[in-house]
């Protein structure tokens, strides 16, 4: 006759949770953001980005400001104005639920399908600026942040230094 052992079942359930659930959520670390960016950069022969704590702190400060409303702002001051270092540019992702940092980066990288390198243009009605910033050859530092907003939505931002996406210049 088998006897029900609640503590053993709790340990088993916890182990299953940690093995299968937690790794699925572990895509928000600096290394996760960096790996996703650098994979896209390697695909086009661009040197990898390095994580920068100053740029990341700026991204985190900005993401924290969006926590209350999770809104997309249309303007943003430069990193130089706030931190006295080179100007940065940013990518923003928003989700009605939970989105990982890697999912956000992959969403931005998917814009590559609409980008024509030969003409350095994006397909009509499409966005490619996130992708071109990710692979911008002169950007060398990265900082990203993610917050869960008060309304249950997710706000993710990545900043790049020096900035890219200059009109008339190719990203790589």
Q: What tokens does 20 get?
A: 């299968």
What integer pLDDT is reported at residue 127 of this predicted model? 93
pLDDT, tens digit only, all 172 positions of the chain:
445 454 443 333 333 333 333 344 458 999 999 999 999 999 999 999 999 999 999 999 989 998 888 876 644 444 433 443 344 566 778 676 788 999 999 999 999 999 999 999 999 999 999 999 999 999 999 999 999 999 888 999 999 999 999 999 999 9
Instruction: Give the pLDDT confidence score for residue 89 in this predicted structure.
Output: 61
Of 71, 73, 90, which is closest to residue 129 (Cα–Cα)? 90
pLDDT, residue 77, reads 45
Q: How confident is the model at residue 13, as a pLDDT? A: 34
Q: What CATH number was assigned to the domain covering residues 30-70+83-161?
A: 3.40.33.10
Q: How many CB atoms lie within 10 A of CB 166?
A: 12
3-class secondary structure per residue, 38-105? HHHHHHCCCCCCEECHHHHHHHHHHHHHHCCCCCCCCCCCCHHHHHCCCCCEEEEEEECCCCCHHHHH
What is the pTM assigned to this prediction? 0.77
Cis peptide before 162 (omega within 30 of 0): yes
Q: Where are the domains of the chain?
A: 30-70+83-161
Q: What was the pLDDT predicted at 128? A: 95
């Amino acid at each position: 006759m088998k006897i029900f052992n609640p503590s053993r079942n709790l340990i088993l359930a916890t182990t299953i949770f940690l093995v299968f659930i937690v790794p699925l959520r572990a895509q928000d670390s600096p290394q996760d953001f960096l790996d996703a960016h650098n994979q896209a950069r390697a695909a086009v022969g661009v040197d990898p980005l390095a994580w920068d704590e100053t740029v990341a702190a700026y991204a985190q400060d900005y993401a924290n400001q969006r926590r209350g409303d999770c809104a997309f702002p249309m303007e943003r001051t430069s990193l130089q104005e706030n931190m006295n270092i080179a100007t940065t540019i940013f990518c923003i992702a928003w989700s009605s639920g939970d989105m990982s940092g890697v999912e956000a980066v992959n969403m931005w990288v998917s814009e590559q399908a609409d980008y024509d390198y030969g003409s350095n243009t994006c397909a009509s009605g499409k966005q490619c600026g996130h992708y071109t910033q990710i692979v911008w050859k002169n950007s060398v530092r990265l900082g990203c942040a993610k917050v869960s907003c008060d309304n249950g939505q997710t706000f993710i931002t990545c900043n790049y230094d020096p900035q890219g996406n200059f009109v008339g210049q190719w990203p790589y």
